[in-house]
Chain A
Amino acid sequence: MEVKVRPLDCWNDFKKYRERYYKNYLEAKDKGGIRWAGSAWAFDPVPHGLGEDVYSLTGEPYGATCAFFHDFSRECLENIERQGVARDLCGYMRNYWGSIVLDKYLLADGSTVSPFPKPDFNFTIHICCSHAKWYHFAAELEGGIPTYAVDISVGPGYMLDDKKIEYVVRQLRDAIPWMEKITGREYDDELLIKAVYAEADAMSTWAKICKLNQAQPAPLEEKSMFSLYVLNLINRGDPEVAKLYHKLYDEVESRVKRGIGALTYEQFRFLTDNPPPWAFLKVYRYLEKEYGAISLGAIYTFGLAGGWIGMDEKGEKWIWEPAPTPEEAGVEITNREEALRWTAEYNLRYRASWQHEYSHWIRKQETYQMVKDWKADAMIMHLNRGCELWNMSTLEVRDYLVKNGISVATYEGNMADPRDFDEARTFNVIDSFMQSLGIEKIS
């Protein structure tokens, strides 16, 4: 059946925000502002307390943008490898380091400028084996940038206790005077509180948007979602981001009500798993065009940018319901302490991707439930050589899904190293998989 489709009205708002984000970081110093760099998993609201002219550069989205513009990525990767950096390390990280070594900064439209803008400080977390060490080495490459990494190794949300939360909060508490010392700024708790509210709002609203994709036809396809979810990975403490997500929510909700879909022919619904091969997003277009196959999302797009209830208290079942914001939880945040505690607990408990990295049991439940709730016909997994964290448990999950009657295809690739991808082979995998399921080409 043919479905009504139309482009998203707020598409340009998101595009412009991204463009502005990278430019703001570049130009921060001209305006007397502050720059910090760190992982997209970092506690973004915390540096917001340093002022309204504080601009960040989060490394993973930057690395993904490099990968998307693959000629630049190749240059970065080859340059950093010449410095003796191993080729099997995180693809984003190598693009980021390569960009420093090349002394070229990539903007959202693919243009580059020199020099690479150094941050005033690095502020990150450590969940995979790379995060903190990524910025440690970046700091060395940049001549000794002050670096602070927060250890969040406290396990999944449903196993949290006060001591674990306190461990993280104490590190955040210490980060503030450290930032004050480096920047010479006085910290403003009101700005922190505002950012903490904004973060929860943006992440929970993104989760609500993802839930709307359970509709048939699905109002969004994942390739577009990549451009939407990313605001939560670059600046989710900015209230402007939450506002954009509310606007998006209203639009997507109205699409669902009016039966507007993302694809003209939706004959096959699937989920993905890892970050995509950014230089080869045509995989998604191929599936759409040839098979009317829509990617509804992934534990990646939903879980990294969204706040979800996640594993139930017993650790038995995954619940794909948006996490409560402070307002929904009836909590008022009035001071620094409460703000730090809220952001620590919200991320540790509800950021889906912080949960499933702790065991394959969690990831199995999370994925299985996602297939059911989003009414997916199958899973197409990217065995992504670019990220050891996202690739953890993927094969165990595949085994579990197959044993539970869910069809799974896998293809090898690398999210951020275009040299690690075999296009023809990937299309072959897809064709054989579709044939095995009896899905005919639509064209």
Chain B
Amino acid sequence: MGKDVEKLPQIKQFREWFEKRHDYAKDWKKKNGGRVVGYYCTYCPEEILYAAGVLPVRILGSHEPESITRPYLHDMYCPFCHDTLAQGLQGRYDYLDGVTLAQSCLHMRQAYFSFADRVPNIEWSYYMPFPHGVNNPYAGEYTKAEFEKFKASVEEWTGTTITNKELDEAIEVYNKNRELMMKVFELRKAENPPITGLHAMEMVVSSQMVDKREHNEVLESFLEDLKDVEPNRETGTRLMLIGSEDDDRSFLEMIEYGINYPATFVYEENCTGARYFWDLVRPEEDRLMALAKRYVYRVPCPAKDWAVGKLFRRRFNHIESVIKEYNVQGAIIAQMKFCDPHELDIPSLRKLFDQHDVKHLTLELDITQPIGQFRTRVEAFLEAMAEEDLFF
């Protein structure tokens, strides 16, 4: 008999890291005596921090109601940004030594500055100009120049010199993490994927919190064990999750485990999913250039994906290949309330799904989710898809 994925120790480990992220970082500090830097957006070149012996951890929210950010962040700014700032103001990130942001959407920009100014334990903060126009040919060079400044600032702050050797090691560790997670994702193309979207989210988000070396070890054994997993749930409708950051367990649980129509996420096209780790650093003599190219030419966030001469969105090309390779039947567009970059793509995205005959449902995320209401809507959506199947 095959193994039950839920019982795999690696799944438990990812979950524990996910839930006890702050404890992990504090323990890491104790053990390693190193510094921890919170980063706000996945365009941060974590490898540079890692090469300096710093642990980069992603700043995320907690999905608990709060009202302490309203004096600083207008309520038209996205709930994710409010949630992250609330975490800082409540002292949950009291172990951070620094905070950084590779220029991202405006909401994050303001949340970052408020966090950097108002969270008392922050001793180093770095705002990195990062191109918005990642589809233009000069973005790589510009980014490289900014990475040089970032590296110099990290070196000055930590009193280290980051040599090519350290950068190579960091790149290797990070690339390995990416490769391993891509391999896990590859398994989700199967008719009965061994893991659900919830597992995938916990795997990816935990990789954003823990030392990648440790994460790699667990991933390697996870891949081994996954070979023997026998899916004991009905896959049902093959869904793609697409949109803003989404690390809310209750949301994924509800869709995959909480409704009458079986459904499984086979791919998450967001920055708490595939967009975080997709695409490797291709080694070249100029290490910072290699890093710059990876970050600029990775599958872009909608905040950076727009026309320069030609009308195309790189992310859409990627989505089209995912639809085919993962045999996607339906898409849940989970978009953070007030998130302009994603909202700006949604009408065209819906059209794209229509062209590929992928049914779609848009849900608006908030700090906490109206699960009951979502359940009804998702159920109706899946039911309609099931009925269509009956007739065609």
Write the residues of chain A forming the contact surface with B, with a CB cutoff of 8 angstroms.
Answer: 83-86, 88-90, 126, 128-130, 132-137, 139-140, 144, 146-151, 153-155, 159, 163-164, 167, 170-171, 174, 178, 357-361, 383, 385, 388-389, 391-396, 399
Contacts and interface: CB of A to CB of B under 8 A. Distances in A.
Interface of B: 70-74, 76-77, 103, 105-107, 109-110, 113-114, 117, 127, 129-133, 136, 138-139, 141-142, 145, 302-303, 306-309, 311, 313, 337-338, 340-341, 343-348, 350
16 contacts: A85-B347, A86-B343, A88-B337, A88-B343, A136-B307, A137-B347, A139-B307, A146-B309, A153-B132, A164-B129, A171-B133, A171-B136, A391-B74, A392-B109, A392-B110, A399-B72
A393 B112 CA distance: 11
Contacts of B74: 383, 391, 394-395
Contact of A136 (B114, B127, B306): B306
Residue among B107, B114, B136, B313 with the highest chain A CB neighbour number at 10 A:
B136
B348 A137 contact: yes
A82 to B, nearest CB: 11
B307 to A, nearest CB: 4
Given A90-B340, A167-B141, 7 more contacts: A85-B346, A126-B306, A129-B303, A137-B344, A164-B145, A395-B73, A396-B117
A128 B106 contact: yes
B76 A395 contact: no
B340 A89 contact: yes
Given A89-B340, A153-B131, A154-B129, A178 B309 contact: yes
Contacts of A136: 306-307, 311, 313
Contact of B307 (A128, A132, A358, A388): A132
Contacts of A155: 127, 129
Contacts of A154: 129, 142
Please report whether the interface of chain A is mostly helix, strand, loop or mixed according to DSSP: mixed
Residue among A88, A144, A159 with the highest chain B CB neighbour number at 10 A:
A88
Contacts of A88: 76, 337-338, 340, 343
Q: What 8 pairs between A and B have smallest CB-CB spacing?
A: A151-B133, A132-B306, A86-B343, A133-B344, A167-B142, A155-B129, A147-B307, A129-B340
Contacts of B348: 137, 140
Nearest to A383: B74
Nearest to B73: A395
Contacts of A392: 106, 109-110
Nearest to B103: A153
A133 B107 contact: no
Contacts of A399: 71-72
A149 B311 CA distance: 11
A396 B307 contact: no
Contacts of B136: 151, 171
B306 A393 contact: no
Nearest to B138: A170
B139 A151 contact: yes
A1 to B, nearest CB: 39
A86 B337 CA distance: 10
A92 B189 CA distance: 43
B344 A130 contact: yes
A133 B109 contact: no
A139 to B, nearest CB: 6
B132 A167 contact: no
Contacts of B142: 154, 163-164, 167
Nearest to B305: A133
A388 B311 CA distance: 25
Contacts of A395: 70-74
A155 B306 CA distance: 20
Given A84-B347, A151-B139, A385-B76, A393 B113 contact: yes
Contacts of A85: 343, 346-347
Contact of A388 (B106, B145, B313): B106
Contacts of A164: 129, 142, 145
A89 B138 contact: no
A170 B70 CA distance: 41
A170 B308 CA distance: 13
Contacts of A135: 307
Nearest to B77: A388
Contacts of A89: 340, 343-344
B130 A149 contact: no
B291 to A, nearest CB: 17
Nearest to B337: A88
Contact of B113 (A128, A148, A174, A360): A360
Contacts of A133: 302, 306, 341, 344-345
A149 B306 contact: yes
A130 B105 CA distance: 10
A132 B105 CA distance: 13
B263 to A, nearest CB: 23
Given A153-B103, A388-B76, A388-B340, A359 B127 contact: yes
B347 to A, nearest CB: 5
A134 B344 CA distance: 8
A163 B145 contact: yes
A153 B343 CA distance: 21
A171 B347 CA distance: 28
Contact of B311 (A140, A151, A171, A359): A140
A394 B340 CA distance: 18
Contacts of B73: 395
Contacts of B139: 151
A35 to B, nearest CB: 18
Contacts of B350: 84
A135 B309 CA distance: 12
Contacts of B308: 148-149, 171
